[in-house]
Structures are given as structure tokens and as C-alpha cells.
């Protein structure tokens, strides 16, 4: 096992649990679909956070796979993974009562979820910049796009603004996924 495999096994477990907690929330909502209103905002937020987690996993592979193991790398990965876990845990309610609307839960938690996602991405960008500078590599900076889409989505009270910003971000993630498959 090389250093990255060890590193990945540690933070990958937490990221896997993040996806699991969202999948469990979605499954529970579907089980209660006759007694609650699911809507589309919470599933849209779950899709975004899931793709954001996948993006971090891919970014970690590209950025950190050739670095030597260090405690700082381990704690940095753990910190980002825990931020994602907390965000994922807030997407769906833990207790579903008959008659609730997931849209109500969405409006109470959307800002925190998106700001946690923004914080995780900011930490990823900062880490990537340091790694790129230490390697003397040209760095493509995507923090501007992240800020332009994530921050307004976090603070808006308008569904259309949220859906357009997060929908565009999801489209970017899916486009990158297709391009990466075609490029390989």
C-alpha cells in the first residue's frame, strides 16, 4: 500500500459514509412518499452534494496521489471529508413525520449545506494551489465559478435562483465527468 492508498482509505471511508447518509435519507423519503411531500429542491441539493463529493475524490487523486504521506495531508483530508459528511447529513431530515414537506427542511438547511460545500471546496483549492506551487505547475483556478454559483445559491430565498445556480453547477460536473471519460 502506497502513501496515497493509505490516505485515501482513511478519508474515503468518511466520504463513502457521506454518500451513504444521503442515499439513506433519499430512500427513507421515498418510503414515506405517500405521507410526505418530497418536492424537487432537496433531491437537487442531494445530487449537487453527491457530485461535489465525487469531484473532491477525483481532485484528491489528481492532486495528492504522488505526495509523500504526512500527518498534515491526513488531517487535511479528514477535515474536508468531515465537512462533506456534515453537509451530507443535513440534506435530508433524520426524522420523517407524516405530513411534512422536504421543501421546509430544505429552506432551513440549504444555506448551511452550501456554505459547508463552499468551505470544503475552498480548502481543496487552497491545498491544490500549494501543491501546484510546490511542483511549479500551472494551476487552473476554478474558485471564481464556485463563488459565482454556490454563494448566491446559499443565500437566495428564490427557488429559481437556487435551481439555476445549482443546476448549472451540476451540468458542469456532469460535463467534466463525460469529458474525463472521453479523454481517458
Against a cut of 0.85, is the pTM above it? no
pLDDT in tens, 88-137: 999 999 988 888 899 999 999 999 999 999 999 999 888 877 776 665 55
pLDDT in tens, 53-72: 998 888 888 777 777 777 77
Q: Helix 41-64 to helix 159-183 angle, to the nearest 10 degrees?
A: 40
Backbone angles phi, psi at 37, to 5 degrees: -105, 115
**pLDDT for 7 beyond 90:** no
What does the buried/exposed string (b/e) look like for 98-136 if buried means 16 or more CB atoms within 10 Å of the residue's CB?
eebebbebbeebbeebbbbbbebbbbbbebbeebeeeee
What pLDDT was estimated at residue 184? 61
Neighbours of 160 (CB within 10 A): 9
What pLDDT was estimated at residue 78? 87
The alpha carbons of the chain give a radius of gyration, in whole angstroms, of 17
Amino acid at each position: 500500500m502506497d502513501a496515497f492508498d493509505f490516505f485515501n482509505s482513511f478519508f474515503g471511508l468518511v466520504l463513502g459514509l457521506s454518500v451513504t447518509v444521503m442515499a439513506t435519507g433519499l430512500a427513507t423519503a421515498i418510503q414515506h412518499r405517500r405521507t410526505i411531500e418530497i418536492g424537487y429542491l432537496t433531491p437537487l441539493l442531494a445530487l449537487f452534494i453527491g457530485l461535489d463529493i465525487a469531484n473532491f475524490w477525483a481532485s484528491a487523486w489528481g492532486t495528492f496521489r504522488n505526495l509523500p504521506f504526512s500527518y498534515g495531508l491526513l488531517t487535511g483530508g479528514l477535515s474536508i471529508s468531515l465537512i462533506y459528511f456534515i453537509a451530507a447529513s443535513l440534506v435530508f431530515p433524520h426524522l420523517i413525520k407524516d405530513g411534512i414537506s422536504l421543501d421546509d427542511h430544505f429552506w432551513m438547511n440549504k444555506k448551511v449545506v452550501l456554505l459547508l460545500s463552499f468551505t470544503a471546496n475552498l480548502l481543496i483549492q487552497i491545498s491544490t494551489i500549494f501543491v501546484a506551487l510546490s511542483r511549479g505547475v500551472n494551476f487552473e483556478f476554478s474558485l471564481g465559478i464556485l463563488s459565482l454559483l454556490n454563494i448566491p445559491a446559499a443565500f437566495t430565498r428564490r427557488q429559481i435562483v437556487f435551481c439555476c445556480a445549482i443546476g448549472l453547477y451540476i451540468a458542469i460536473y456532469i460535463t467534466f465527468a463525460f469529458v474525463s471519460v472521453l479523454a481517458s
